[in-house]
Amino acid sequence: MSVAPQRIAVLGATGSIGGSALDVIARHPDRYRASVLAAHRNADALAGLCARFRPDLAIIADPALQTALARRLAELGARCEIAAGPEALEQAAGGTLCDTVLAAVVGAAGLRSTLAAARAGKRLLLANKESAVCAGPLLQAALDAGGGDLLPVDSEHNALFQCLPGGRPPALAAAGVRRLLLTASGGPFRGRSRRDLAAVTPAQACAHPNWVMGRKISVDSATLMNKGLEVIEACVLFGATPAQIEVLVHPQSLVHALVEYVDGAVLAELGHPDMRTALAYALAWPERTGSGVPFLDLAARGRLEFEVPDRHTFRCLDLAYQALRAGGDAPALLNAANEVAVEAFLAGSLPFLAIADLIETLLAALPPQPVCDVETLIHRDLTARAKARAMLARMCC
């Protein structure tokens, strides 16, 4: 007896994660169907994807582009319903057109739709980091209410999911887990001192040794803030304490995470740094299916190296731990201050090493408050950004 394909809402379909997911979906038309496709503003790209994948619904987050999307769909002969605006994203994530939701909308714009999918009990493939970093308590409450499955698709958290019994055990200690270890490439400045980094440029910070990424995430990799945010996310997703999570620098980027057990065993997940592996695992879980990623030849790759991060030079990692220990909305404040600081660095108005200084000053100025609802959280995010910009103006005078 044939089984109907899993219906998937790809929120963020025109981004890199959405593209990787659609590549996996296209490889298994008998198992998966992209029933909802959503994009922020790229109406042309969204229309092209609709012509190829034939979803039931296409959503453009910017309402001003709904007419352009309709016109382009008609030109391509693609027939599907059209909706626009943040509310449409939220309704689709919790609605009847999908069984699985890939939450890959970037930033706070993806928060409400992610929570809607969790409350509706969907299988939630989480790529929207802000949902866990900034709104962890709200996400957990929504998951408890909906009873669905959450599968992380960031490579490090997906690796932890694969190495832990049951993916997300109710209690790490009861599962015999001693530590969770996240790996970091070290970025372009691995091995450099603070003195070496005093005058680095945005171009240097964005020159990652292993792969090409967007400018903001490239700077986060260079400061190790990306790993700090992943530590916060891991605590939310797996119920870990800050003391249970450590970071190792692994320049080859083949080992994505490790789990150390109380009996001395360490389980690791290895593979090429390709998002399709994590996405294929999350889509098929608890089974496995082909992803299109080449198989790993360890003999050809040679040695695997590990080292402790230089927390004195790359202070953002410790600032993330500080926010995590402070609790409440401190991680959201950290994230907001970091985005303001990185934007200023990329614009040439803030030195690289001052990114951590601005974040530290902001955290000291705004004591954390409990995370109680989305509206309050967004208000606090905006408050932190405004205060960080005011601090930045004084620092640059």
At residue 247, what are phi and psi to the nearest 5 degrees?
A: -120, 135
Domain residue spans of the chain: 6-148, 155-273+295-321, 327-397
Tokens of 140: 């957990």
* pLDDT attached to residue 2: 65
Give the pLDDT confidence score for residue 397 in this predicted structure: 60
Closest CA to 253 of 304, 297, 308: 304
In whole angstroms, what is the distance from residue 216 CA to residue 229 CA? 13
In tens digits, the chain (397 residues) has pLDDT values of 568 899 999 999 999 999 999 999 999 999 999 999 999 999 999 999 999 999 999 999 999 999 999 999 999 999 999 999 999 999 999 999 999 999 999 877 889 999 999 999 999 999 988 899 999 999 999 999 999 999 999 999 999 999 999 999 999 999 999 999 999 999 899 999 999 999 999 999 998 877 767 888 899 999 999 999 999 999 999 999 999 999 999 999 999 999 999 999 999 999 999 999 999 999 999 999 999 999 999 999 889 999 999 999 999 999 999 999 999 999 999 999 999 999 999 999 999 999 999 999 999 999 999 999 999 999 999 999 999 999 998 877 6
Q: Output the pTM of the full model.
A: 0.94
Whole-number CA gyration radius for the chain: 21
Integer Cα distance of 149 and 181 in angstroms: 23
Q: Does domain 6-148 have CATH number 3.40.50.720?
A: yes
The domain defined by 327-397 folds into Rna Polymerase Sigma Factor; Chain: A (1.10.1740)
Q: What per-residue confidence (pLDDT) applies to 3?
A: 80
Residue 269 phi/psi, 5-degree rounding, is -110, 125
As a dihedral over the C-alpha atoms of residue 279, residue 283, residue 287, residue 290, rounded to 10 degrees, the angle is -50
